Amino acid sequence: MSNQEKMSLITELESTMRSFIREYRREFNELLGEGFTGSEFAFLRAIHENSEQNVSRLAAALNVSNSHATTIMDRLADKGLITRTRSEHDRRVVIFELTEHGEELFFVLNEKRTQYMQERFEKLSISEIEELIRIFNIL
């Protein structure tokens, strides 16, 4: 295979990935409902999985800037989904935890997400999913 043929395939892959990601985001945001974003869900999940997170750890875990993480956390707090408390050990550190409403919403949305993901990828075998994971991990 020539370099030109390989570049043509890479360009097709790029276009396919872009289309898939755009469609996935649109469908996922529709699933979450109006007034809630995929980013907000990702932060809810991160806090649910590891309570007492601070902004720096959340930003690092989700590979976003501290300022973006702060914006999302402000939105979640305004919606009554998280609480903020100062660390007893370091007053400069703000710890976030899910409220009861935040936990309930997380479970509802996570169930919807699980169902969506199962339906979205049902055409793929386990070995195909494992291969996709392997491929994306080496890129």
Which helix (H) or strand (E) is 82 found in, with range?
strand 82-86
Q: Which of 80, 86, 114 is nearest to 98 (CA)?
A: 80
d(CA 7, CA 44): 39
Q: Model's pTM, two decimal places?
A: 0.80
d(CA 56, CA 65): 8
Domain 34-138 class in CATH: mainly alpha
> For 18-72, what is each residue's pLDDT tens digit?
999 999 989 988 988 878 888 999 999 999 998 767 888 889 999 999 999 999 9
> For 88-123, what is each residue's pLDDT tens digit?
888 777 888 999 999 999 999 999 999 999 999 999
